[in-house]
Amino acid sequence: MAESVLNTPDLKDLQEEELWDRIDDNRHAICLGARPCDLIPYLRQARVLTDLDEDEILNCLKFNNRAMRTSHMLDLLHGQGRNGAIALLESLMIHYPALYSQITGRPPSIEPSGFSELTEYLVRAVSSMKTELRLAQNESARLRTQCSELEAKLEQAQQNNEEFIQIQREQAQLRSHLDGLNRELLKIKDEKCDLYVRYTTSVEEKSATVIRNRDLQLQIYQLQCDLCKAQKQTDFQRQHSIKNQSDTQKLKEELNAVRAKLLETEMFSPVEQDILAHDLRETENRRSELAEEVTRLHEENERLKQDKEELLEEKDCLALELDKLTVDCEMYKHRSMLFQNQLEDVQGERDKAYLSRDEAQAQIASSLAEKDTMRSQIMGLQEKVFTLKASSMQKERRDKSRDLTDDCCIDHDYVVIMKGDPLADSSLTVSSPISGKIQPDSVSRGSAPPFLVRNRPQALRISGRVLTVLIQGETLLKQIQVIGGNKTGLFVHHVTEGSSAHISGISRGAQILQLRYERKQRAAQMVLEDTTMEEAQWALGQVRGPCQITLRHNQDAYEHLVQQLKNGEVISGDSFYVRVNITLPGDVGGTLAVKCNDIVHVKNTFHSNDGSWWGSHVHPCHLEDLLSGALPNYYRAQRLLIRAIEEMTHTRKTQRKERSTAEEKRRVVRIVSTGQQSRNPLWVSVEDDNNNVTEDGDACAPSRCVTLMPYTLVTPWFPPICRPVLILPTVLGRVLHKRVAELEGYQVCEPELLSASEHGTKMQKGEILEECDSKTHCCYTLQGGTHCVLPLGLDCVRRLHRAEIFPIIVYIMSTERSLRRLKHKLRQNSVTDAQVLECSCSEEPFLEKLPCLYRSIPPESWHDSASLVDTVKSVVREEQSKIVWVESDPG
pTM metric for this prediction:
0.48
Phi (first) and psi of residue 110, to 5 degrees: -105, 10
CA distance 476 to 490: 15
In sequence order, the 6+-apart residues with CB closer than 8 A to the CB of 101 are 107, 108
Do 98 and 190 reside in the same domain of the chain? Answer: no
Q: What pLDDT, on a 0 to 100 scale, did the predictor assign at position 110?
A: 52
Kindly report the CATH number assigned to the domain that includes residue 812.
Answer: 3.40.50.300
Res. 689: pLDDT tops 80: no
Do 511 and 471 reside in the same domain of the chain? Answer: yes
As a whole number, mean pLDDT of residues 567-587 equals 88
Stronger pLDDT, 867 or 444, i.e. the higher one: 867
As a whole number, mean pLDDT of residues 625-640 equals 88
Q: Which domain holds residue 626?
A: 466-715
CA distance 297 to 283: 20
Stronger pLDDT, 108 or 874, i.e. the higher one: 874
Could you give the count of Cα atoms lying within 13 Å of 307 in the half-sphere of its Cβ?
5
Do 104 and 184 reside in the same domain of the chain? Answer: no
Domain annotation covers residue 418: no
Res. 444: pLDDT tops 60: no
Q: What pLDDT, on a 0 to 100 scale, did the predictor assign at position 578?
A: 92
As a whole number, mean pLDDT of residues 39-60 equals 89
Q: What pLDDT, on a 0 to 100 scale, did the predictor assign at position 677?
A: 43
464 bridge partner residues: none
As a whole number, mean pLDDT of residues 485-491 equals 91
Kindly report the CATH number assigned to the domain that includes residue 586.
Answer: 2.30.42.10
CA distance 546 to 472: 5
Domain annotation covers residue 140: no
Do 184 and 90 reside in the same domain of the chain? Answer: no
Do 642 and 533 reside in the same domain of the chain? Answer: yes
Res. 889: pLDDT tops 70: no
Q: What pLDDT, on a 0 to 100 scale, did the predictor assign at position 687?
A: 54
Q: What pLDDT, on a 0 to 100 scale, did the predictor assign at position 651?
A: 58
628 bridge partner residues: 616
CA distance 268 to 283: 18
In sequence order, the 6+-apart residues with CB closer than 8 A to the CB of 884 are 440, 716, 717, 718, 719, 723, 806, 852
Q: What pLDDT, on a 0 to 100 scale, did the predictor assign at position 616?
A: 93
CA distance 716 to 442: 7
As a whole number, mean pLDDT of residues 702-710 equals 59
Domain annotation covers residue 144: no
Boundary residue ending a domain (115, 150, 170) = 115
Domain annotation covers residue 882: yes
Helix (H, G, I), strand (E, B) or coil at 723: coil
Sign of the torsion angle spanned by Cα atoms 730, 790, 719, 575: positive
As a whole number, mean pLDDT of residues 201-227 equals 78
As a whole number, mean pLDDT of residues 4-22 equals 73
As a whole number, mean pLDDT of residues 265-293 equals 74
Question: Kindly report the CA angle at 759 between 756 and 762, in degrees rounded to 5?
Answer: 150
Domain annotation covers residue 132: no
Distances (CA, A) of 561 to 21, 105, 508, 557, 603: 116, 111, 13, 6, 14
114-123, 455-464, 599-608, 881-890: which is most confident: 599-608
Do 709 and 851 reside in the same domain of the chain? Answer: no
Q: What pLDDT, on a 0 to 100 scale, did the predictor assign at position 483?
A: 93
Question: Could you tell me if 655 and 648 are in contact, meaning their C-beta atoms sit under 8 angstroms apart?
Answer: no
- Helix ranges, 650-755 (H): 659-668, 730-741
As a whole number, mean pLDDT of residues 175-202 equals 84
In sequence order, the 6+-apart residues with CB closer than 8 A to the CB of 557 are 488, 489, 491, 511
- Helix ranges, 60-116 (H): 66-78, 82-95, 97-104
Q: What pLDDT, on a 0 to 100 scale, did the predictor assign at position 347?
A: 79
CA distance 228 to 220: 12
Boundary residue ending a domain (369, 389, 407) = 407
Percent of all residues in the chain with a pLDDT value above 90, rounded to a whole number? 12
Stronger pLDDT, 452 or 81, i.e. the higher one: 81
Boundary residue ending a domain (694, 715, 736) = 715
Q: What pLDDT, on a 0 to 100 scale, did the predictor assign at position 300?
A: 83
Domain annotation covers residue 772: yes
Question: Could you tell me if 578 and 602 are in contact, meaning their C-beta atoms sit under 8 angstroms apart?
Answer: yes
Q: What pLDDT, on a 0 to 100 scale, did the predictor assign at position 450?
A: 31
Res. 465: pLDDT tops 50: yes
Stronger pLDDT, 588 or 581, i.e. the higher one: 581
Res. 223: pLDDT tops 80: no
Do 587 and 705 reside in the same domain of the chain? Answer: yes
**How many domains would you assign to the chain?**
4
Domain annotation covers residue 98: yes
Helix (H) or strand (E) holding 564: helix 555-567
CA distance 266 to 190: 114
Do 19 and 38 reside in the same domain of the chain? Answer: yes
As a whole number, mean pLDDT of residues 673-689 equals 51
As a whole number, mean pLDDT of residues 374-392 equals 71
Do 689 and 790 reside in the same domain of the chain? Answer: no
Do 234 and 358 reside in the same domain of the chain? Answer: yes
From 672, 671, 661, 594, select the one nearest 629 (Cα to Cα). Answer: 594
Res. 562: pLDDT tops 90: yes
397 — pLDDT class (breaks 50, 70, 90) = low
Kindly report the CATH number assigned to the domain that includes residue 51.
Answer: 1.10.533.10
Question: Could you tell me if 630 and 613 are in contact, meaning their C-beta atoms sit under 8 angstroms apart?
Answer: yes
Dmax of the chain from CA atoms?
235
Res. 274: pLDDT tops 80: no
Helix (H) or strand (E) holding 317: helix 270-410
Percent of all residues in the chain with a pLDDT value above 70, rounded to a whole number? 77
Question: Kindly report the CA angle at 482 between 490 and 517, in degrees rounded to 5?
Answer: 80
Res. 80: pLDDT tops 60: yes
Mean pLDDT of the chain: 77
> Which range, of 251-255, 619-623, 703-707, averages the lowest pLDDT?
703-707
Q: What pLDDT, on a 0 to 100 scale, did the predictor assign at position 615?
A: 92
Question: Kindly report the CA angle at 744 between 741 and 747, in degrees rounded to 5?
Answer: 35
CA torsion, points 375, 376, 377, 380, in degrees to nearest 10? 120
> Which range, of 294-308, 333-347, 611-625, 800-814, averages the lowest pLDDT?
333-347
Domain annotation covers residue 478: yes
Phi (first) and psi of residue 726, to 5 degrees: -120, 115
CA distance 27 to 163: 67
Do 764 and 677 reside in the same domain of the chain? Answer: no
Do 478 and 376 reside in the same domain of the chain? Answer: no
- Give the pLDDT confidence of 350-360 residue by residue, as tens digits: 777 778 777 77
652 — pLDDT class (breaks 50, 70, 90) = very low
Res. 265: pLDDT tops 70: no
